[in-house]
Structure formats: structure tokens, C-alpha cells
Amino acid sequence: MALSPERTVGEALIDIYRKVEAGQRLSAEDGLRLYQTPNLTGVAAMANLVRERLNGDTTYYVRNQHINYTNICNKFCKFCSFYAKKGGPDPYEMTLDEVRARLEWHRDVRITEVHMVGGINPRLPYSYYMDLVRLVKEVMPGAHVKAFTAVEIEQIASKGKVSITQALKDLMDAGLDCLPGGGIEILSDRVHRELFGRKLSGEEWKAVARAAASLGLPQYATMLYGHIETLEERVEHMVQLRELQDEVGNFLSFTPLSFHPENTDIPDVKPLTGDNDLRNIAVSRLMLDNFAHIKSFWIMNTPEVTQASLWYGADDCDGLVHEYEITYKEGDFGNKKQALTYENMCYIIREAGRVPVERDSLYNVVERSPEELAVTNRQPMTPLALVH
Ligand code: SF4
């Protein structure tokens, strides 16, 4: 006989369970207890209750392609393995023709989302960013353009000598559909000072989010965890995001992103475990009561942990992800083609006992004809067990 949720959460968490059951908001103290309790199964049971209340068995994925247009960057964030530096990846800056070739390579797969982010490269002019967005719309007219973290938006505005709002307006005129989030990592002044002090502050990040909301530009939110932040700082990040969502209401989903120390300036940080990834998904599902979706990014979490996460609060696996270059591991440069086929993605979700549903960037359901489903990826796929 299955245990009731009350039995699963036990006496120590029963007060939090009562709040979750009643749909009440959890406090920062509750969030900290969810991180500290050894009863991860109990936390998962509560997160699953919320997940099924909001999304049932549905598990979303998107046909997406990533384009990281440059890895030249003047911010030197200590947690970053992506930007060009001695002993790391060689510097590059993609021309529009190179971007066009990447887009055309995947056109058969009927990509519905092109996700573009890059380093803060002072050589790129204002017009480059507008041209990038226009190019995606020209080559893939049906695809959403999800592009530029808040720190890139700040850079674009600075290059154009215009306000953040004007830069966003110009990008939207060119075809920008939504912002991917990112750019702040974690809303903590201490971590900001220690790891990424050259990037915008938490308040500046929020100003970009507010400007996007005022223009009706949908956006995503993330949290990078597992570096030097404390559990209290993770909870504080979620509380601040929750307050911002109360105010702007246009965050589509939240993605906890696990930190990978290899080839960063803080290589001695202990790598995260699957339990840690699952707990972050579960706690975020419970704390972010005004976010409709919690995403498990399989590239960082592995497909296996992502399968389990579908019972820990996640209802989204991100996407097929053609080419991803942000998390650099030595020897990876010959194999940037990190991707799952449509069949593999659906298999992973069904094997976990959930129902795969293709979505677009705005969580509209995408219906496919049998002919479209028959088209599979054109490049060798990442073997399921070898993603990390
Ligand atoms: S995280 Fe972004 S801004 Fe920071 S160094 Fe890396 S590419 Fe540059």
C-alpha cells in the first residue's frame, strides 16, 4: 500500500505539507528547512503534489538550437568556462554567414526556438545584434528568437548609446521574442562581488527584467547553484524572484542550473551530485508558487537525473538542444553537437512515466504531422549515458 503524503513527509515537515496542500505561500524559513532536511523523499512528495496540480503528467520539451555567437568576453566571471582564456577555448566571433550556415544545417528538424547568447565582446557593434535576430527570422520564419541575457542587453544598449528600453524595443522590432534569463546567476551581493563583480548587479538585472515586462516581452529565469553560495542565498534568490514575478508576472519558467567547476577559476569546488540537483528542482517548485513551470536542463543534469526530476517538481526537460558550448570540458571541442533526437526525448519522458508534449518558447503546444515527426536530426547525437 502506498504511503500517504503525510506519512512520507513525516512529523518534521508536516507543517510545510499542510501549507503546500492548502496552496499557501512558503516562507524563507520553510525553504531553508526543505534544503536542510535529510528527508529528500518527503520534499519530493510535496513538490510532486504541486507539479501534478499545475501540469498533471504533462512534460514539455522544445525543438531548439543554441547559437553562442562569440566567446570573447570582458567580464571574466570566475565561474565561467565558456569565455576565451589561456588554457581554455580559442576566441571566436561568428559572422552572420557562419550563423546562417548553422541555422540552415538544422532547418529540416523544424526548430521552433533559436536560443542565442554570447560573451560581452566590445568589438561587436549595435547593428550586429539586430542583424543576428533578423537573420534567424529570415532563415527560420516560424522560430521564436530567445536571446541575450540581461548583461548582454546592457552591453547592446551601451554600444548603441540608447536606454535599456530602447535597445529592447529595437531588438523586438528586429524579431526578438523572449529573454532567456541568466546574467545574474544568483541574487546575492556577496556572491556578485566574489565571482562576477564586473557584471550588472542584482538591482540592475531586475531593471532589465522590469523593462522587458513593461514592453510585453516574455522572459525566463534561472539560478546557478553549487559554487560558493549558501543555502540561505539560494532561498533568498527564490524569494526575490517570487516577489519580482508578483510584480511583473511574465516569467514563463524557472531553471536551476548546476555549476560545473571544470576549467573555471574555482576548480576546487566539489562537483554536485544527482541528489543535489533533484533537491534544487524540488525546492524551487515549492518556493516559486507563481511560476507555472520548472525546467530540468538535461545537458547539465544528465538525462538520467532529468528523468527522476519529473517526480521532483520538474515538468519541462528543455529541448533537443542542437549544439551547446557554454559548459566547457576539456576535449569537448570536437563534439559540440549535444543533442537528443525527438524519439530519445519522448522515450526518456515516457520511461519516467510522464507524457511528452512538444511546446514552443511560449508554452503553446505544437502539433506535428507524421511527416514532420519522421524527420530526425541530421548529426550524430550525444549518447544518452555520456552527456556529462
Ligand atoms: S558568464 Fe557570460 S559575462 Fe561572465 S565571463 Fe562568461 S560569457 Fe562573460
* Model confidence pLDDT, tens digit, residues 169-214: 999 999 999 999 988 899 999 999 999 999 999 999 999 999 999 9
**Beta pairing, strands 64-67 & 113-116:** parallel
Residue 309 pLDDT exceeds 60:
yes
Identify the residue whose cell numbers are 542583424: 131
Residue 61 · residue 316 · CB < 8 Å: yes
Q: What is the mean pLDDT of residues 133-155?
A: 97
Q: What is the mean pLDDT of residues 92-111?
A: 90
Residue 321 pLDDT exceeds 80:
no
Q: Is 151 in the pocket of ligand 1 (CB under 6 A)?
A: yes
Q: Ligand 1 atom closest to Cα of 71? A: 7
Q: Is 76 in the pocket of ligand 1 (CB under 6 A)?
A: yes
Residue 109 pLDDT exceeds 50:
yes
pLDDT tens for each residue of 340-369 = 888 889 999 999 999 999 999 999 999 988
Q: Ligand 1 atom closest to Cα of 196? A: 4
The model's pTM is 0.92
For ligand 1, the distance from its centroid to the CA atom of residue 56, given in whole angstroms, is 37
Identify the residue whose cell numbers are 507524457: 355
Residue 53 · residue 27 · CB < 8 Å: no
Q: Is 252 in the pocket of ligand 1 (CB under 6 A)?
A: no
Q: What is the mean pLDDT of residues 271-284?
A: 96
Q: Which of 148, 151, 153, 238 is nearest to 187 (CA)?
A: 238
Question: d(Cα 228, Cα 194) in Å, to the nearest integer?
Answer: 9
Domain boundaries, the chain: 5-386
- Grid coordinates representing 306? 532529468
Half-sphere exposure of 371 (CA within 13 A, CB side): 1
Q: Is 117 in the pocket of ligand 1 (CB under 6 A)?
A: no
Q: Is 75 in the pocket of ligand 1 (CB under 6 A)?
A: yes
Question: d(Cα 127, Cα 129) in Å, to the nearest integer?
Answer: 6
Q: How far apart are the first and last CA of the chain?
A: 37
Exposure string (b/e) for 203-213, b if CB count within 10 Å is 16 or more?
ebbbbbbebbb
Q: Which of 37, 93, 92 is nearest to 47 (CA)?
A: 37
Return the axis-axis angle of helices 231-248 and 274-287, rounded to nearest 10°. Answer: 40
DSSP codes of every residue in 274-335: HHHHHHHHHHHHHH-TT-SEEB--HHHHHHHHHHHHTTTT--EEEE--B---SS--TTGGG-
Q: Which of 244, 307, 252, 315 is nearest to 285 (CA)?
A: 315
Fold of the domain spanning 5-386: TIM Barrel (3.20.20)
DSSP codes of every residue in 199-254: SPPHHHHHHHHHHHHHTT--EEEEEEESSS--HHHHHHHHHHHHHHHHHH--EEEE
- What percent of the chain shows pLDDT beyond 90? 77
- Grid coordinates representing 138? 529570415
For ligand 1, the distance from its centroid to the CA atom of residue 80, given in whole angstroms, is 6
Number of C-beta neighbours around residue 72 at 10 A: 16
